[in-house]
Structure 1
């Protein structure tokens, strides 16, 4: 595993400038507007209950135990305009304030940055609506954590898995995840167009900016390196944990039960899913196929509306992102649910690189296809789904076209290895 971990850390460093954007407000070019690191999120039903509030406080205490010295500023009263030092109150006082909120809102945000415009790499954040609000609007509660990728080595891979088991034992979430994701600032909406680009360049990254989405009552959002499922979700959508194990023949998919659920691990270490080199990590594809019936049928848009013509996530592209591993052939998995109707991508084919309508483009370049007896050409962009082709003369829409790669923008090989 150490070799795989070092390979990931090397890949991360080599690509650092592709997914890290310095903030224009920082003249020293130290603080970032967006970055990539370890992200965990745990989704709760009835977060207003006293036992859930106590559990949220316990998770803050657990994070403080290991990384409390990293936390510098934040707020605990839902008031981001009034940042205070993390050490201004004791841990006991912070937890007591959570418990004393009763069934009202709680919202705290503790991180290693002193300006909410900047992206933290250490963060413990929780949000739970008041009882009346959740009952009326059905929004869910959540606890979220950030860590730098270096903690895979410093804290340890197996130790992070055990920590996730412990967090889940405490919180009893409906579901959740932990793995590589885009870390953003408290003022995340300013950079959603960058998230959109990065999400199409690195398919292993989670996009986490609509956490209280009521649709997540129907199932988990998306798989990651660690995907967390409650016993109830497994029973309702997947049958049983034993049935899952029987359908799995991928020895790098492992199950870590805790009282109330299970953590499912996709491979030894997290994956970036770089579209240019390894867009569909095998174990992610297999976990996706294994757990798909328990996934929420849809999610809220991961982006707000454009304010200046820039591209952000909308409802359609958010759904496409959520299901980005669906069109890829799973191996070592006996899938009991209906396979996707579209032809799956065979990544081992020894022919010219091709892509079908609705699939993700692996390389920016010029592609050709034969349509109605004519050769048509298109320039397709890496990481984006291929849209249906519209004949410029007849306006006929072609929804099932296979495009062959003729020339890559980066000058690389146009044939599959």
Structure 2
């Protein structure tokens, strides 16, 4: 375990300048416009219900327990133009405000940066629509967390898995994930062209732009190091947990049940999926094949379009990103219910997701 963790941390540090972009508004070159770290997201049905709102407050309290001293500024009233110090109100007052919202919107965002233009590496963010809006538009609620990759060592790998079990048992999400992903600022739409490039350089990274996507009612978005499935999704799409275990031929794919679902772990530590060295991590390919029947058939576009000619995700390339671990060959034996075939798309760049893309990625020194 420790060897693999150190290898990951070394690989991350070696590639740090490839996936970290400093923000032009920071003259000290400390704050970033986009970076990579640990990202978790948990997707909720009927997030307006009192028990869901109470659960959201419990997760905020849990994050506060371990990393509350890292949180500096944000908002709790859905108003990003009115930033407050995290310590301006007590945790009890924050939770009380969540509960008092009733079935109306709740949106809070607490991070370790004082300017929403900058990327937080510690973040607890919740977005939950009002009852009437969810029923009309079918958008879903979500809880999103950021941590720096160093927490794999400082907090601990096994402890992070246990934490995800605990969060999942509290929230009872439809599904979720935790692993390496692109971390962006509150003003994330400004840098979607950079996300597009990074997603094609590092296939292990999650892209999170439209987390209230109604398509996610049909299944999970994509696998990651930890993929979370509730019992209903398993029953509807995969049979049951015991059947799932029987289909699995990869002893590095492990199952961590909680009351209401299971956390599925793909390998000892997360993977970057660097296209230059290891684009298709074998445990990611295998867990993708194992869980694919429970994946959402489609997702909304990960990009919101371009006004200056820069290339961002569109509907087609978003589907290609979602299925990037399909129909590729893992190094070891894959799960036995789905055949894999070796296929690498060779084009004039390191972009391996889309055959039709001609984007050249930038390497930053």
Rounded to whole Å, the distance in 1 between the matches of 2:247 and 2:272 is 26
- How many angstroms apart in 2 are the aligned matches of 1:157 and 1:250? 20
Contact 2:324 2:353 in 1 (8 A): no
Distance (whole Å) between structure 2 residues aligned to residue 381 and residue 50 of structure 1:
50
Q: Secondary structure at the match of 2:220?
A: coil
Contact 2:228 2:261 survives alignment (8 Å): yes
Task: Report the equivalent of 1:60.
Answer: 60
- Tell me by how many angstroms 1:334 deviates: 3.6
The answer as to whether partners of 2:165 and 2:263 remain within 8 angstroms in 1 is: yes
SS of residue paired to 1:145: strand
| Match of residue 345 from structure 1 | 342
CA distance in 2, matches of 1:240, 1:251: 19
Cα drift, residue 322 of structure 1: 0.2
Answer yes or no: is the 8 Å Cα contact 1:110–1:123 preserved in 2.
yes
Contact 2:286 2:335 in 1 (8 A): no
- The residue number in structure 1 matching 2:129 is 129
Corresponding position: 1:93 with 2:61: no
1:249 Cα deviation after fit: 1.7
Q: Look up the match of 1:42.
A: 42
Alpha-carbon distance between aligned partners in 1 of 2:226 and 2:333, rounded to the nearest angstrom: 18
Say which one has the larger Rg.
1
| SS of residue in 1 equivalent to 2:317 | helix
Residue 312 (structure 1) shift: 0.1
CA RMSD of aligned residues (A): 1.5
Of 328-337 and 58-67, more deviation after overlay is shown by 328-337
Secondary structure of the corresponding residue to residue 380 of structure 1: coil
What is the TM-score when the length of structure 2 is the normalising length?
0.96
Partner of residue 387, structure 1: 355
Change (3 A) 1:296 1:66: same
1:226-271 CA distance string (max 9 Å, x none):
0000000000000010001001121110000000000000000000
| Aligned position for 1:138 | 138
1:388 to partner: Cα distance: 6.6
Shift of 1:387: 3.2
Task: State the structure with bigger RCO (CA 8 A, min sep 6), 1 or 2.
Answer: 2
Offset of 1:381 from its aligned partner? 1.0
Q: Could you say which structure has the higher strand fraction?
A: 1
Distance (Å, rounded) in 2 between the aligned partners of 1:2 and 1:383: 31
Q: Do the aligned residues in 2 keep the contact of 1:117 with 1:186 (CA within 8 Å)?
A: yes
Q: What residue number does 1:235 align with?
A: 235
Q: Superposition pairs for residues 134-283 of structure 1, below 5 Å?
A: 134-283=134-283
Distance, in Å, in 2 between the alignment partners of 1:59 and 1:245 is 29
Instruction: Show the counterpart of 2:360.
Output: none
Helix, strand or coil at the partner of 1:382: coil
Q: Secondary structure at the match of 1:29?
A: coil
Q: Distance in 1 between matches of 2:243 and 2:333?
A: 15
8 A Cα contact 1:98 1:106, kept in partner: yes
Q: Matched residue pairs, number?
A: 357
Q: More helix per residue: 1 or 2? A: 2
Residues of 1 paired with 2:337 and 2:154: CA distance?
Answer: 39
Where does residue 84 of structure 2 map in the other structure?
84
Deviation at residue 307 of structure 1 after TM alignment: 1.0
**1:333 CA drift (Å):** 3.7
Instruction: For residue 176 of structure 2, give the secondary structure of its aligned residue in structure 1.
Output: strand
Shift in Å at residue 385 of structure 1?
A: 4.1
Describe the superposition over 1:112-135 as per-residue Cα deviations: whole angstroms up to 9, x where unpaired.
000000000000000000000000
CA contact (8 A) 2:250 2:335 kept: no
CA spacing shift, 1:332–1:387, aligned 2, 3 Å:
closer
C-alpha distance in structure 1 between counterparts of 2:12 and 2:220, whole Å: 27
CA displacement 1:39-90 (0-9 Å, x = unmatched): 0000000000000000000000000000000000000000000000000000
